[in-house]
Structure 1
Amino acid sequence: MAWLWLIVGGLFEVGFTTCLRHVDGFRNIGWTAGFLASVALSMGLLEYASRSIPMGTAYAVWGGIGALGTVIVGIAWYHEPSSLPRLLLILGVVGCIAGLKLTAR
């Protein structure tokens, strides 16, 4: 169950990075509220998951999910580049996350 909470926490990390793009110096109240809620949920779920998963592994997986998700959101909605080298590097991140999960106790 800890892995599920860690994945959900990583997805909320994608939420707060996406909201951060729109907070406009924290003047946009709706996006700021979304950012603050996503940060709180993301960090809380990371802390909860790290009670059962080694902290180094949990943090790497959480950060990897957030980084991967943020890149995907950037490509899909914000027209960020999607070159072959960039996509291969993203695939490398996914492989490393999978490797960490497979080698955790």
Structure 2
Amino acid sequence: MPWVILFISAGLEAVWATALGASDSFTNVVPSVVFFVGLALSMATLAFATRHIPISVAYAIWSGSGAALTVIWAMATGTETAGVLKVLFLTGIVACIVGLKLLKPHKAEVA
């Protein structure tokens, strides 16, 4: 369940990042409200996930997934152009996220 919450949190990151761009420096009310609500929900769900997933892994997956989703949404809506290299690098981000998810956790040694 924490992993599902983490990916929901990443989706919410994409929502608030997109809303931030649409808010026009917080002069547009609806995108500004979506930004603040999305930000609060994204942080709350990230905080929950980090109770069960190490912060180093959770943050890397959250930020990478959120960034990739933001770019994918921008390309899907036509606000950003898609290109071969952009898609290749986004695929690399997703591959790294999958790799982090598949790693077996281990206990850190205390010196």
TM-score by length of 1: 0.95
Larger-Rg structure: 2
The answer to which structure, 1 or 2, has the higher relative contact order (CA under 8 A, 6+ apart) is 1
Q: What residue ranges of structure 1 are gaps of 5+ in the alignment?
A: none
TM-score by length of 2: 0.90
Sequence identity of aligned pairs in percent?
38
Cα distance change on mapping 1:9 and 1:104 into 2, 3 Å = farther
Residue pairs, 1:20-99, within 5 angstroms: 20-99=20-99
Q: Residue 54 of structure 1: CA displacement?
A: 0.6
Structure 1 outlier segments of 4+, above 4 Å: none
1:4-43 CA deviation, whole Å, 9 max, x = no partner?
1000000000100110111122121111110000000001
Retained in 2: the 8 A contact 1:53–1:104?
Answer: no
Pairwise CA RMSD:
1.0
Cα distance change on mapping 1:30 and 1:86 into 2, 3 Å = same
Letter in 2 for 1:67: A
CA distance in 2, matches of 1:70, 1:93: 13
Q: Residue 79 of structure 1: CA displacement?
A: 3.5
Q: What residue ranges of structure 2 are gaps of 5+ in the alignment?
A: 106-111
Residue 3 of structure 2 corresponds to residue 11 of structure 1: no
